[in-house]
Amino acid sequence: MSIIFSIFILLFVIITCFLTTLSTSAASQSLHPDELNALKEIATTLGIKRLNLSAEDPCNIRTLMIIQEKQDVLLNSAKNNSIVCDCSFNNNMTCHIKVIELKTLSLPGKLPPQLAKLRYLQKISVCANRLTGNLPRGLENFKNLIYLSVEANQFSGTIPDELGDVTSLTTLHLASNYFTGSLPSSLDRLVNLEDVYVNVTIL
């Protein structure tokens, strides 16, 4: 009787171990849900009409799965479209977006203020698209931003004073847009800048 009982216990232990192993290996790193939601808003504001976020985690595939108009081709060129995450949070289970590069994609929207919801963002490059409008308010919220390139778009208006609050910036590419007015004196505060292309029309 006690032998049967022992075997039963042993089986139970083995099955439990097996299931635990199974569930840990099935769980994988994934983008923080708040950032996944922010990413949807960001894509919409940039003018990306069809985005597939359900298939794969953008941190794993290191890109945004944009579905092009008409033909269902996934745009995965690392040169054009790159997402880099830091997945060291929460015992290597949670990722935060560190880099967004969406270049030469003819994106027709605006620069999303929702980018500020990505609290660990260090690099934004949206150069050579067809983005319009002003640079958004709230730039002072980009606490970790090192690299900002909005070059070769159709942005207009004045360069916001708050850009001078992003003191972490080392690279700032604003050229080949339709910015007007003078450079704000607040940019003096960007003491870490090493690489700047700015091009404004003085009215």
Per CB under 6 A, residues contacting ligand NAG are 52, 54-55, 67, 75, 77, 79-80, 88, 91-92, 104-105, 175-178, 199
> How near is the Cβ of 5 to ligand NAG at its closest, in Å?
38
| Residue number of the CB atom closest to ligand NAG | 55
Q: Give the residue with the Cβ less far from ligand NAG, 6 or 77.
A: 77
Q: Which two tokens stand for residue 78?
A: 């690392």
Q: Which is nearer to ligand NAG, 51 or 187 (CB)?
A: 51
Number of H helices, E strands in the chain: 4, 12
What is the Cα–Cα distance from 132 to 172, expressed in whole angstroms? Answer: 18
3 state DSSP class of 20: helix
Q: How far is the CB of 146 from ligand NAG (least distance, A)?
A: 22
66 φ/ψ angles, rounded to the nearest 5 degrees: -95, 130
Q: Which is nearer to ligand NAG, 104 or 170 (CB)?
A: 104
Q: Which is nearer to ligand NAG, 45 or 177 (CB)?
A: 177
Q: Under 8 Å CB-to-CB from 191, ≥6 apart: which residues?
A: 167
What residues are paired with 96 via a beta bridge? 86
Question: Residue 72 Cβ, how far from ligand NAG at the closest point, in Å?
Answer: 7
